[in-house]
Structure 1
């Protein structure tokens, strides 16, 4: 993990301040018998903190070695109350695996006991136990800090994945909206142009369908764009569902596609997710019929089973505008939608001619 320059600067500042305080403490106890090496060892008990995030284990070993050597000189007190050792144990616990931390912490405890025995002849064992517990407390604090950082990282990754999934969902929504409505507009505009001079009533009807489809497309696009606006204060329009299937079928009929709808089973509301999924599959399927089937009729079957909801969209077209591929982007998107809610979607040519799309979604038991 790279270390931020700001963190390094703070470590250097901390090391400089602690080193100055440590050397001043040793000087105050200097009665003229303190050797220069004593000042050097005292400084080494805190100065390496400047490198604690780059090499935490090495820093800890240098500090512990300096503390052990300082105590070997027989001085009567810790040069800085052992603060350098505690900082090193905390750093190792935060940045290194638990076995490494355990080894460093055990080494620190041994050095601490040795230092007490060398520097304080009339020491009390309770003091040593308390000091060792402080070292292990630094370990616990570092471990907690590491867990908090790992949890924050997991939450950030989860938020990033959720944002990516939402972008995919919105992209799919845009594809469905644009593909369906633009297909209707294109077909009806072509009809109006073809019959404009020979059948004015049909041309007016086609132009009216173009206007209605364009208004609906703009409304849905505006709803999707509102979702992306952070400062949106208004209410969003509800997502379409099977309750809007009648309007979808009427648009298809207005575009020149005869559509028959059949419903079996006990009709009931589906959860919002599967409801939207079923609507989008019906929308994409009817759009594909308009684009690829040529002169054809379509049939939409809704079956509300006890445990499964089934949607079938079939046509008897000959594929005059080119057959739709079962692996096309639109069908692949429908399969992804179905899988999102634990369902299965199959699509392909029918044995008797035409094309069929079958969506099966698990639903809760009726009643």
Structure 2
């Protein structure tokens, strides 16, 4: 559609200027040039005809326009209006084609001027020199327009590439954020629901024999449910605008004693051991270590069987944080089934901070989840 429109405009330009130049040519002018006649008018019109295709075939149009324009000079009519058409065609070659083709067009123009000076009637050398100078000026203007057009096109392409890159980064950031929130929701829900399931099973077993103990278990289920709802509300608050009051700090290793205590209340014998001198830990690693312990204890509670004992070990070293959850549950033969979706999220968390994660059965029985996080520059 755009090509058809430009061709139409060029055709209108060729007809309009051709008619105007023919009319101007037919007006007698004082001088030594040959008097205007029908042949000269036809040559002028033929010189403007190629302008109709100046953008589609610029070099061919220039060659076609040089023939009648050169004939006008050789036959004694002089450059006159016919020379203007050739300059317009030279501009088109320079502005719409590469440097090699543009230089060829300029060379053809200069050669035509040389032929006109040699084959045409005797005329002042300044006239032919003026044609060469005008040709060089028109050619330079066309190249400047082409270079500017190419520069603006490159700027537009670069802006488009940057926009696509920004959109891709935005999509990646959204996907990463959805993945992070999904991990957080899984860790919160899986942990609390597992604890509630174990407590509900214990309450069902002692409901008839010891109603008071069953009531304590149900009370623990209620507290755990409230805790789960509170944490979920904090996470959902991240997705809502204008609800900062519902947001709270993310848990970290400072919350491990409370986590261990909750697991004891749920029936998992758990011991926490902290070695080394605690120091400042990046917030991301702090949260990842807490979630690792939470997921490890949840899996021990859910899969390791009755009477299991779990031990949480946090070892602070100058350039490394070592976190491990070890239990003495069911034998390694069945341990291969134990890791769940939560441990997949743990792998992502540990990998995000360049840590090393090991998950699997222990040689002497039980199961181990261990991660080593690098701490840069001694924290």
Q: Which residue pairs with 2:329 in the alignment?
A: 317
**Structure 2 residue 338 is the aligned partner of structure 1 residue 343:** no
Q: Which residue pairs with 1:256 in the alignment?
A: 267
Does the CA-based 8 Å contact 1:240-1:279 persist in structure 2? yes
Question: How many Å separate the matches in 1 of 2:360 and 2:99?
Answer: 66
Task: Give the secondary structure class of the aligned counterpart of 1:238.
Answer: coil
**Structure 2 residue 15 is the aligned partner of structure 1 residue 20:** no
Q: Which residue pairs with 1:175 in the alignment?
A: 186
Q: CA deviation at 1:321?
A: 12
Question: How many Å separate the matches in 1 of 2:276 and 2:14?
Answer: 84
Instruction: Describe the shift of the 1:16–1:228 C-alpha distance in structure 2 as closer, same or farther (beyond 3 A).
Output: farther
- How many residues align structurally? 330
1:218-257 aligned within 5 A? 218-229=229-240, 231-235=241-245, 236-257=247-268
Instruction: Describe the shift of the 1:195–1:16 C-alpha distance in structure 2 as closer, same or farther (beyond 3 A).
Output: farther
Q: CA deviation at 1:289?
A: 0.4
Q: Give the TM-score normalised by structure 1.
A: 0.77
Q: Which residue pairs with 1:209 in the alignment?
A: 220
Instruction: Give deviations 1:22-63, integer Å, cap 9, x for gaps.
Output: 5433333233436776565222224x5xxxxxxxxxxxxx34
Q: Which has the higher helix share?
A: 2
Greater shift, 20-29 or 347-356, is seen at: 20-29
Question: How many Å separate the matches in 2 of 1:72 and 1:265?
Answer: 95
Question: How many Å separate the matches in 2 of 1:308 and 1:200?
Answer: 49
Larger radius of gyration: 2
Q: Give the TM-score normalised by structure 2.
A: 0.75
Does the CA-based 8 Å contact 1:291-1:321 persist in structure 2? no
Instruction: Give deviations 1:233-266, integer Å, cap 9, x for gaps.
Output: 5353222221222222222112111110010111
Does the CA-based 8 Å contact 2:44-2:68 persist in structure 1? no
The unaligned stretches of length 5 or more in structure 1 are 1-8, 49-61, 90-103
Question: How many Å separate the matches in 2 of 1:317 and 1:341?
Answer: 30
Greater shift, 80-89 or 305-314, is seen at: 80-89
CA-atom RMSD in angstroms: 3.2
**Structure 2 residue 74 is the aligned partner of structure 1 residue 77:** no
